[in-house]
Amino acid sequence: MKAKMNKILLVLCLAFCSVLAKNEIYDGHALYQIDLQTAEQGSFFAELEHRLNLDVWAHGGLGDPATVLVPKAARSLLQDGLGAAGIGYRLAVENVKEELDLEEKLLSEAAAKSNRTSRFGLPFDTIHRYAAVDAYLVELASRYPNLVTVVSAGRSFEGRDIKYLKISTTNFQDRSKPIVYMQSLLHAREWVTLPATLYAIEKLVIDVQEQDLLQNIDWIILPIANPDGYEFTHTSSRYWRKNRATGYMIGNWCSGVDLNRNFGFQWSEASSASVCSETFHGSSAFSEPEAAIIRDITLAYGDRIELFLDIHSFGSWMLYGYGDGQLPPNGLIIHMVGVRMAQAIDAVKWPSNRNYVVGNSALLLYPASGTTSDYAQSLGIPLAYTYELPAYRNNYSTLNGFLVDPDFIEQAGFETWQGIKEGARYAADSYRARNKK
């Protein structure tokens, strides 16, 4: 009896103690919103960010405050620094651990209530782990062999298989069709991006209502671009962004490369050389296996990829290159298609979220180099975007930024899909028109 009791306690602890530990590390971390009114204040804050090694979630601008996650030990240093420089700030969340506990509770309750077990597919009421998505991709290919091929593209730093789907009515043989490429979860903590790719897969394979999207277009969809980081956000550190490369560690400190700074276009020009930074660019372009895998897919299919979507969160932005503020030669077309995609989403989005804003990433937000979509654009892919999906906002939930309320999961998939379809149809027309000449 006692042995059985101990076993129950052990099982409970394995389930519960690790949960405690996961959120415990953020106990006392606070979220600040900072009003940066002038360029001087912006540079002062950038220096403070670097010195205190802060995790900036939004850099602010266009009337929006900067948002920054601050560990307990750095809070007074930050407040003193801002006070001395006359910069206004607001404490948005006193203790983010409470929000993490709430997200976990809401998601696990939603998973327990899920009643779609009789129907094939991954339900849109919770956020699925790597293993479930991985198995789902394999199962899809076996159930729909004439439409879906699953490809193992290579392994992550920790050895996880990175899979993508090829969805095609013509087995990718009809070169008169363009390819639309999409990926999500390059940044580990951006959980709400996964439903966007899973929703697209559902509408292209399981619940097809618009045949033209399959007749006229081939699709490549890679749902989990950074599987090690993603699993780490579930098991150890919810706000982890980078991959899990350990080769750069300083003693026991700091690891991981920002995969969205590791691509071979303008590499290292506007990113960090410090492994402790959230934007650490790695030892060279494509030093990380996860980035090299995406490079290889893009190179293999680049001449047919007309639209390239790298899905991130958060902020309701539709961004295009280049990260140094220079526009590609077809910048006006990229902007116009971006606006059409944004309008398609805005037409069905929840009123509590703001409209999408479309523009060049450096001009709207901040300079960045070595990004995935800039690399795709630089290869000659006509339309490359970084979607930043909305943060969940409504009147009763206090979840912020990267955290996901289960109520928003299906909506995030649905509304993003409206934008993707708009862009995909434009891509089909423009690819055909160009190749007729």
Return residues touching Zn ion (CB under 5 A).
187, 312
To Zn ion, the closest distance from the beta carbon of 376 in angstroms equals 15
To Zn ion, the closest distance from the beta carbon of 312 in angstroms equals 3
Instruction: Specify whether the CB–CB gap between 312 and 387 falls below 8 A.
Output: yes
Q: Which residues contact 350 (CB under 8 A, 6 or more apart)?
A: 394, 408, 411, 415
Rounded to the nearest 10 degrees, the angle between the axes of helix 194-201 and helix 130-143 is: 10
241 or 295: whose CB is closer to Zn ion? Answer: 241
Instruction: Specify whether the CB–CB gap between 236 and 196 falls below 8 A.
Output: no
To Zn ion, the closest distance from the beta carbon of 187 in angstroms equals 3
Task: Quote the CA–CA distance of 378 and 368 in Å, as a whole number.
Answer: 14
87 or 192: whose CB is closer to Zn ion? Answer: 192
Task: Quote the CA–CA distance of 192 and 411 in Å, as a whole number.
Answer: 10
To Zn ion, the closest distance from the beta carbon of 189 in angstroms equals 8
To Zn ion, the closest distance from the beta carbon of 174 in angstroms equals 33
167 or 365: whose CB is closer to Zn ion? Answer: 365
The label of the residue with tokens 């895998």 reads 293
Task: Quote the CA–CA distance of 46 and 380 in Å, as a whole number.
Answer: 33
Cα→Cα distances 405→38, 168, 177, 344, 367, Å:
35, 33, 38, 23, 31
Active site residue 104: no
To Zn ion, the closest distance from the beta carbon of 434 in angstroms equals 31
Q: Phi, psi (5° rounding) for residue 64?
A: -90, 140
To Zn ion, the closest distance from the beta carbon of 258 in angstroms equals 9
58 or 74: whose CB is closer to Zn ion? Answer: 58
Produce one character per residue of 361-386: b if its CB has 16 or more CB atoms within 10 Å, e if not: bbebbbebbbbbbbbbbbbebbbbbb
How many other C-beta atoms can be found within 10 angstroms of the C-beta atom of residue 434?
A: 11
To Zn ion, the closest distance from the beta carbon of 261 in angstroms equals 11
Task: Quote the CA–CA distance of 53 and 23 in Å, as a whole number.
Answer: 20
Task: Quote the CA–CA distance of 325 and 293 in Å, as a whole number.
Answer: 27
Of 202, 388, 415, 422, catalytic = 388
| Rounded to 5°, angle at Cα 181 from 196 and 223 | 40
Produce one character per residue of 267-299: b if its CB has 16 or more CB atoms within 10 Å, e if not: bbebbeeebebbbbbbeebbbbbbbbbbbebbe
177 or 312: whose CB is closer to Zn ion? Answer: 312
Question: Strand (E) positions, 107-170?
Answer: 148-155, 161-167
Q: Which of 386, 368, 265 is nearest to 325 (CA)?
A: 368
187 or 425: whose CB is closer to Zn ion? Answer: 187
- Cross-strand bridge partners of residue 33: 67, 90
147 or 403: whose CB is closer to Zn ion? Answer: 403
163 or 261: whose CB is closer to Zn ion? Answer: 261
What is the C-alpha R_g of the chain?
22
Enzyme catalytic residues: 388
